[in-house]
Chain A
Amino acid sequence: MAIKDNIKPTRSELIDLKKKIKLSQSGHKLLKMKRDGLILELFEILEKAKDIRKDVEAQFSLASLKIAIAKSVEGSVVVKSTAFALKDTPELTLVSKNVMGVVVPKIEASSVHKKLDEHGYGLIGTSSRIDEAVDSFEVLVEKIILAAEIETTMKRLLDDIEKTKRRVNALEFKVIPELIEAQNFIILRLEEMERENTFRLKRIKG
């Protein structure tokens, strides 16, 4: 028992240990609460993540259909030429927010889904098939950004839950039992020393 070997069985050590046990127990309680809170948060995010994943998949199928139609009906030449007119790339701003001590990202994108007359190409020379393909891909990009935010949040939460769980377990099954054991050892040693003292005193008197 390494902990016993390094312990001096003194009253001051006992006081220190008692303080440590109290701190560890309150830390354990707090971490357990944090873990439970994070798990609840994770379940909420999990639902959102499932929904957004489904949305992304559905939107991807729709966008693929629309671009397939645009390429078939208008021709890939027209689709590529029209795509040349679209020079704007969406700007992403990454800010962070705090969920129970876990820093998660918040992604804000500017000007992804645009109005019909803001796409950058002329309307007279194009058709609704191009509009619909462009629209569906713009919506897809928006959904992907949202999915990235939610899935990163979920990943960070999972990492933090794992970390918190390890800490809770370490406190519960290793740190606190060892501290209690050390405390018991000191109490036992102190009692023993007390008895030895009493016995020694009695012998001196006798």
Chain B
Amino acid sequence: MGISDGSKYAYIAARVRAMKSKLIPKEMYPKFLNMEIPEITRFIGESEYKKNVDEISKKYSGTDLFEHALNENLALTYRKLLDVSQGEANFLITEYLRSWDIWNIKTIIRGKFSGASEDEILEDVVSAGQLRYRDIIEIVKIDTVEGVIAAFAGTPYYSVLKEYSGDLADIEDKLDKMYYSNLLKAASSTENKLFLKYLMKEIDLKNLKLLFRMKRGGMEREDILKMLIPGGFELKDADLNRLSSLSFDEFVRALEDYSYWKAISDVSEELSSLWNVETRLDKYAQSYITSISYYYPLSILPVLSYIISKKIEIDNLRIIVRGKETALKEDIIKTHLVM
């Protein structure tokens, strides 16, 4: 089956099963939509998030408190996964959660680039990866972008960061590409072929979203190709080459040849905004990882499925509360929920 020895995953799988049972069932989201913000906040304050809400209630209030409590909970949950996992599972989870380290590095560099204060930067970091919050606090104290980059010497990120020459977007994209490249290497080094397959599909979905955005943004083929992430499952180099040279309408029609078309076909007529497409592709990713995780309960897949489901839960709760705060129409909120 291509899945490594199940006994290695027995403990983490059991822990994750217990953690998964605490996720908010998807039937709750329509109920949240009918509630007022105080009711939702009360519900959340009495749930798994109570401790996080209490901890930061002195610093924030209102929906900011809500959002920061959710982020805090996400960081602690992922940290817990890192703490309770061992061996191969720990290695793969660490690699997968490096996206959060990259997020934090980007935020720190952006903050230093624009001259934001230490507090402003620290408000926007989510220490859900390897980088501990106390380490982030120390790095944020450094004044310059160059100083921050030097602080990462000896980490896997330094090889990319040292290329920084003032172009922030370039370094951010290179960090993201490095993340996927390292993740693919990590997945290939184990026998988790389904994990590798999922990652390749995740790259496909990322590339599809990028293609939609860049095509609509009228970018040139060469610039599009530079931005795409190699190593996809269905969208190989030749496919990316072909798709990037088509016009927007031709590109959308060409997607009919790929399995992802099923996920987006019903919204392909209404592309004035790409929200629908992005949400559909996120739903596709979640349902795909959930379905394959059922087939292989003693593998990294249930852990990965939990990581993704937890992130989606946080996103859904935030969408509902922030959406209600800003008086977004219910159908717009619903469109963005991944259920």
Contacts and interface: CB of A to CB of B under 8 A. Distances in A.
A12 interface: no
Contacts of B210: 123-124
A131 interface: yes
Contact of A77 (B71, B116, B273): B71
A85 B114 contact: yes
Interface stretch (B76-84, B231-239, B283-291, B325-333): B325-333
Given A68-B323, A72-B323, A82-B110, A115 B219 contact: yes
B71 A69 contact: no
Interface string A67-98: 01101110111101111111100000000000
A27 interface: no
Given A116-B219, A131-B213, A72 B333 contact: yes
Contacts of B124: 77-78, 80-81, 84
B146 interface: no
A129 interface: yes
A131 to B, nearest CB: 6
Given A115-B218, A117-B169, A81 B213 contact: no
A75 B176 CA distance: 19
Interface string A100-133: 0000000000000001110111111101110110
Contact of A124 (B113, B176, B273): B176
Interface class of chain B by DSSP: helix
B201 to A, nearest CB: 16
A86 B168 CA distance: 9
Interface string B104-126: 00110011011010001101101
B209 A127 contact: yes
A73 B319 contact: yes
B318 A122 contact: no
Interface in A23-69: 64-65, 68-69
Nearest to A116: B217
A122 B214 contact: no
A83 B39 CA distance: 31
Interface in B84-139: 102-103, 106-107, 110-111, 113-114, 116, 120-121, 123-124, 126
A115 B218 CA distance: 8
A72 B336 contact: yes
A80 B120 contact: yes
B107 A84 contact: yes
Given A72-B328, A117-B217, A117-B219, A85 B173 contact: no
Interface residues of A, number: 34
Nearest to B332: A69
B318 A72 contact: yes
B249 interface: no
B227 interface: yes
Contact of B227 (A71, A85, A124, A129): A124
A119 B322 CA distance: 25
A75 B169 contact: no
Given A69-B275, A84-B114, A120 B322 contact: no
A65 B126 CA distance: 26
Given A69-B332, A73-B315, A77-B126, A124 B218 contact: no
B223 interface: yes
A164 B173 CA distance: 61
Contacts of B274: 128, 132
Contacts of A123: 169, 173, 210, 213-214, 227
Interface string A173-199: 000000000000000000000000000
A71 B322 contact: yes
Contacts of A83: 114
B110 A85 contact: yes
A124 B177 contact: yes
Contact of A120 (B68, B103, B169, B209): B169
16 contacts: A68-B322, A77-B71, A84-B124, A85-B113, A115-B219, A117-B214, A117-B217, A117-B227, A121-B110, A122-B173, A122-B176, A123-B210, A125-B102, A125-B106, A127-B209, A128-B277
Given A122-B176, A127-B278, 19 more contacts: A71-B322, A71-B326, A72-B323, A75-B318, A76-B64, A76-B322, A80-B124, A81-B124, A84-B107, A84-B116, A85-B114, A85-B172, A116-B219, A117-B217, A117-B219, A119-B169, A121-B110, A123-B169, A131-B213
Interface of B: 64, 67-68, 71, 102-103, 106-107, 110-111, 113-114, 116, 120-121, 123-124, 126, 168-173, 175-177, 206, 209-210, 212-214, 217-219, 223, 227, 229, 273-275, 277-278, 315, 318-319, 322-323, 326-328, 332-333, 336
Cβ-closest 6 pairs across A and B: A122-B172, A116-B217, A84-B110, A68-B326, A72-B322, A124-B176
